Structure 1
């Protein structure tokens, strides 16, 4: 087990976070175009970072090895600067006209449908993005990050979206349960993807993070 230093995420590390995200989202399954993967990974990272009220990074020898972004649902942090926000607006317009628009729309619609299924109490906080350097797999970096964010959100009901292309069993082993699921069939190879909305009620008195 590698013990990382969990601290506030440094905005300068967004490019590294983006690289982890591209690999974690397995974008190579949907496009062989490296530029498309880069641009979409950058957009997804920005979209998750901007509203985050909690942004933590795991560092080993001052090198980012993982990150987790979360937000309290009633708050919005506005972390992006003006040119990053401009990139988001332009990229969203490009995707709206891209061949992958239908896939993105189907995925977003599935998430919205699952959220409407949630019963009271409604969740208080969301994990918006979570990824670890693939070279650090097996070093419990993800567990350390999750423990740290749960410590910050003690007493709240936490939720997140994930799918079968990701390491979703990780969350089940740490007390999350599936509140809703949806199965999608995505072009071009009619690949089936199961979407999950997971929730966890955090204890009021937090444990010390690992």
Structure 2
């Protein structure tokens, strides 16, 4: 039986997504509502795409969010929105790694917002977002679809760090990396090369029981 999500609860969930810096189209927010409900309550919500559209339209009218003037299908938080929250130099959150929840866009949007709020220029934001999307795609494709813990941090030396921890599927990931094998891990290797180009350092550790992957990457911001 689907999890009963009232109109008030749906509005609260979508407000939280926007206050965290999420941006995207209606389908993105629909999938993220499902992801958050599944993550918190271990069940899918009984909401509909039409209900999500209705909430977004109402939020635009109330000036909580706005649409992209170039692409009106994209929604994001308005500059003077009352739901903007205080943001520091560290953000930690958990997503579900299954591809149908669109975790790449979720993390990309949230990172872009985090960097912008911390005064990072557009070109550098773009590089970091491209590299991070590759990391999330690998976590989604090679993970078990469960929780992925993500941390963004900017330290006092102006070094950006991203750390991602997730559970991996049962296959010989580490051996393939060491041999540089371009077969079942071609996507992984491509992603690692992009990350190595755009980050200053990239470290991927697979735990001894081959169940957990820990990715840590850094980039100087000055």
Query: Considering the TM-score relative to the shorter chain, is it more than 0.5?
Result: no
TM-score (norm 1): 0.31
> Structure 1 or 2: larger helix share?
2
Higher relative contact order (CA 8 A, sep 6+): 1
> Structure 1 or 2: larger strand share?
1
